[in-house]
Amino acid sequence: MSKPVKEMIIDEYRRRFDGVDGGVILQIRGMDALENNEFRNELRKKSIHITVLKNTLAKKAFAGTDLEALFPALKGPAAIAYGAESPVDVAREIVEWAKKAKELELCAASIDGVYFDGDAGVKALAKFPTRVEAQSTVVTILLTPHRNIVGCAKSPGSKLMGIVKSLEEKLESGETIAKVG
């Protein structure tokens, strides 16, 4: 391959992966064409894309980005799955597909420059909360003490109002109320 063609491929990788903060490296060798098309089409519906990489050119394009963490996994025929809301979503979908397609080999994953090695690493990333899930957990943790304080402050008043309500109902029904001494 000539140098100008290589430069064009590197520029295309830089353009395509600009702003991508992570992904999953996988090998799709052995999948027949129909299964491969179904795999790619189902992922595309979820905004996940797969690109087969030229390893040395990808390394040049990924240098200085979050995807640089994936360098150790760029051996042999490699493809990268990326997109969706976060690399966690991508890992979850790829792990689900790996259960169905035995030929699919999970090589590595990364998120924000952190490397997850091998099949176990990709599965570990898939168990991480997404950014939205993590934010909602943090908000819940932050609000819990305030909720408890409000509950404690309301509790005596609620009990008192319950007593007043029962007294009111007894008086309205014509019952007499015994004096507590």
Contact 119/108 with Cβ under 8 angstroms?
no
- The domain limits of the chain are 3-128, 130-181
Per-residue pLDDT of the chain (181 residues; tens, 9 = 90+): 888 999 999 999 999 988 888 899 999 888 888 888 898 999 999 999 999 999 899 999 999 888 889 999 888 889 999 987 889 999 999 999 888 888 888 999 999 889 999 889 999 999 988 778 888 888 888 777 777 777 767 677 677 777 778 888 888 888 877 776 5
CA dihedral 75, 23, 107, 31 (to 10 degrees): -90
The phi and psi torsions of 15 (rounded to 5 degrees) equal -65, -45
- Tell the CATH topology of 3-128: Alpha-Beta Plaits (3.30.70)
What CA–CA distances, in Å, run from 128 to 30, 112, 115?
Answer: 29, 13, 14
